[in-house]
Chain A
Amino acid sequence: MSGARPISSLDLSPGIRTKLTKAGFQTVRDLEETTPVDLSKGISTDDALKILQQTKRNTVDAMSASEVLVRERLAASISTSSNAIDNMLGGGVPIRKITEFCGAPGIGKTQFGIQLSVNVQIPETLSGPEGEAVYIDTEGSFIAQRAAEIASAMVERVNGHQHAGTEALVNVDTILSKIHYFRLHNCVELIALVKVLDEFLKEHSKVKIIIIDSIAFHFRHGFSDMALRTRILNSLAQDLTKIAHSFNLAVVIFNQMTTKFFVSSDRSATDQAILIPALGESWAHQCNNRIILYWQDGIRCANLIKSANRREQIVTYQIGATGIRDVIDDASSSRKRPREDLND
């Protein structure tokens, strides 16, 4: 079918395109029959070669499912330090996928980001990814001291698995030196960074996770043209997907929540407002996994609402001095009791 693609959809400069149409070329199939010399009757050979390379680039590059399976098996997921959330995601935040966390302010999105950027460095001997992290901060909410705190808790955990007397596997300073931090002040910088991120990743080939905290902030102001916003977001997401695939890394994006009003036709009825992830419907299609974080009765909950391979599920977690952890059973049951009292 791709042969029927019209010439006008190739990214050729208008001058060359006019010449092609004049010469009677309408679709890509017409071009396939020619050779560079043949084509160069009206234009230079360089341009002719360029045109033909364009058409060839449009052929499909397929990979068999078994190849994909092998690749995905090889990639270790990144643990969130909460078993419940890891199980919900099938072992942790998946490599080669875009995972989005949405949540109200104060629910712990930044904590997830810091925890993941530390956990990506769990050594291979403990079946961790042993990689580095890129942390893209658009909000300025990253606190280095907190990263040090979470890192030292991770170090203690990892070294606890070691036999006494052997050398420690990790230490806090090396962990912190392997988190690359970008602070962006507007969305132009974000577009620019994603554009040249592949150069950075070539220099730092051990990067296994890219964290964007948060995608929404700069896109929620200063855009009068919503179509433009959608287009920029989509092209960002496509670039990120490409990066996730070609560099074998996980992309984690944090998103804010926004309030959507429903006005009931009956004036006396209560008006409803629901909290939904920001940036709209078309953005929702860009992520492979989407997790909503929210409070329920004083307990933090995580709800997987979009995933291609895991079922929808709600789990609880908590955030302590050492980072993200599971809710311990007896603690949660004692907290649930007052709620039951309330219902009576």
Chain B
Amino acid sequence: MTSNRRLARMPPHLALTAGQLAKLALYPNGGIRTTKELLEKSKIELVENCDLDGEVVEDIKRKVSRWIVPKSVTVLSLLSSISFTPPFFTTCIPHLDAALNGGIPFSSVTEIVGPSRSGKTQFCMTMSVIATMPCEKGGLGGSVCFIDTEGTLDVDRLVEIASNRFPDYFNPLTPEGKSNLLRMTQNVHIMNAKSTQEVLQSLEGLQELIITHKIRLVLFDSVGYIVRKEFNNMTNEMKDRYSSPSLMGRSDMLIRESAMLKFLAESFRMAVVVTNQVIRYSRPNMISTSSNVRKRVCTRETNNSYHVTSVLGSGWAHSITTQLTLECFDNGVSGIGQGDATNNAKRVKITKSPIAPRKSFYYAIDKCGIVEIDMETNMRNNEVGSVVNYEGNGPF
């Protein structure tokens, strides 16, 4: 991104001499013209191929490094610069916001994982409605970019959530409410991406869109769908060779995507939320082997235990900062009264966060989008059924 610069552009106090540049350009296979090409070469390679002295090479490398290295800041100044802008955005669940120290953190990537019908897209839609509202109403006062790979975004549903959740602000019967609704729909920018190539392209073009439309929130629903479609050919021929280029290509692509999302989140100080599908696997069997690596035995069939993992493997999971896991309960298990809001009670758990403990919260989906359920009443109605499920397995 910014650190792959042309050597010819170096500022006067660091600049290389014309002779040095000419010698570097003589490097075999195209020559050295950028900082990246230079720093990847070892000293001996440069001495050998460019006919430069060892000390000169050291000096060149040092100058180039000085040029591109970012400045350090102390954490104290980091903290004070953050406190001017609200660094969090609501998750639509007040208690979850409180546990996360304010909600979804800006400048980092948050992932929402969950099985189908757990409400991933509903979360995204509720958040986009809130984000378009002005700051004094609890929104972000900006636009939303919605990267839709599954084609599940429904604008009618957006309007429904808006007019039911905020009946005063988005009242379809008053002219003011109508114009607010219109503005809300205008401020949600939908990008359809049908292949990984398109996703990467739209991410590359996103910078312009973010600046022109004052985008404060990027939603990516869902990241797993496309890559699973394109790379998940692991049935027969690939079973023989797991380390096939396609699987490597997948993780390479994913980490590239996440590096770009992170870069955008940080440079524009905005919130980035991605959703992801889950696969179920049987309870991991931790066996310590002689070489002391942890062994996980994966079986292919799905299992009744509630052990799910996000689909894209550890490479992707490392690149997100906050992860929320959604779970739905089988209605048969929870066995609560029919027609009740708690009937479709679902649970959201903080599974990764640098600030929050691993806590769970209950929510439901209704005409207002995502709503929190009071856990107390839920537990009282439900003493027999879901106690087992309620026990979290984290240390908190």
Contact = CB atoms under 8 A, between A and B. Distances in A.
Nearest to B296: A273
B256 interface: yes
Interface stretch (B115-123, B225-233, B313-321): B313-321
Contacts of A320: 357
Nearest to A15: B51
A185 B3 contact: yes
Contacts of A258: 314-315
A192 B39 contact: yes
A229 to B, nearest CB: 10
A58 interface: no
Contacts of B65: 191-193, 195-196
B395 A11 contact: no
A13 B242 CA distance: 46
Interface in B347-379: 351-352, 354-355, 357
Interface stretch (B170-178, B191-199, B210-218, B287-295): B287-295
A106 B350 CA distance: 10
Interface stretch (A72-80, A81-89, A162-170, A215-223): A215-223
Interface stretch (A25-33, A93-101, A140-148): A140-148
A275 B107 contact: no
Nearest to A223: B252
Given A270-B298, A270-B299, A188 B3 contact: yes
Residue among B4, B65, B251 with the highest chain A CB neighbour number at 10 A: B65
A177 B72 contact: no
Main secondary structure of the interface of B (DSSP, over half): mixed
A134 B354 contact: no
Nearest to B316: A105
B51 A140 contact: no
A60 interface: no
B266 interface: yes
A178 B76 CA distance: 8
B36 to A, nearest CB: 5
Contact of B74 (A180, A184, A195, A214): A180
A298 B283 CA distance: 12
B1 interface: yes
A186 B1 contact: yes
Interface stretch (A34-42, A62-70, A299-307): A299-307
Contacts of B321: 139-141
Interface stretch (B40-48, B124-132, B148-156, B331-339): B40-48
A185 B298 CA distance: 34
Contacts of B2: 185
Contacts of A218: 259
Nearest to A335: B395
Nearest to B107: A140
B251 A296 contact: no
Nearest to A221: B255
A106 B352 contact: yes
Interface in B33-72: 35-36, 39-40, 42-44, 47-48, 51-55, 57, 61-62, 64-66, 68-70, 72
A283 interface: no
A292 interface: yes
Nearest to B51: A13
Interface string A1-30: 000000000011111000000000000000
B384 interface: no
Nearest to A148: B79
Interface in A222-272: 222, 228, 231-232, 235, 256-259, 261, 263, 267, 270-272
Contacts of A205: none
Interface string A114-153: 0000000000000000000011000111111111110000
B292 A292 contact: yes
A110 interface: yes
A274 interface: yes
A220 B3 contact: no
Contacts of B87: 145
A136 B357 CA distance: 24
Given A13-B47, A105-B318, A222 B256 contact: yes
A156 interface: no
Given A140-B262, A147-B75, A185-B263, A256 B314 contact: yes
Interface string B268-290: 00000000000000000010010
B101 A145 contact: yes
Nearest to B44: A11
A13 B74 contact: no
Contacts of B352: 105-106
A39 B82 CA distance: 62
A186 B3 contact: yes
Given A139-B262, A145-B355, A188-B36, A180 B294 contact: no
A266 to B, nearest CB: 12
Residue among B82, B101, B105, B255 with the highest chain A CB neighbour number at 10 A: B255
A259 B259 contact: no
B255 A11 contact: no
A63 B265 CA distance: 49
Nearest to B240: A263
Interface in B235-253: 239-243, 251-252
B297 interface: yes
19 contacts: A15-B51, A54-B54, A105-B320, A105-B352, A141-B321, A144-B79, A176-B74, A181-B78, A185-B263, A186-B1, A189-B68, A195-B62, A196-B66, A199-B66, A200-B72, A232-B40, A258-B315, A271-B239, A275-B294
Give the 3 A-B residue pairs with the shortest CB-CB distance, closest first.
A106-B352, A261-B242, A192-B65
Given A141-B108, A145-B87, 17 more contacts: A14-B51, A105-B352, A111-B354, A142-B354, A179-B75, A182-B70, A185-B263, A188-B39, A191-B40, A191-B65, A193-B65, A195-B62, A221-B251, A222-B252, A267-B239, A270-B297, A312-B292
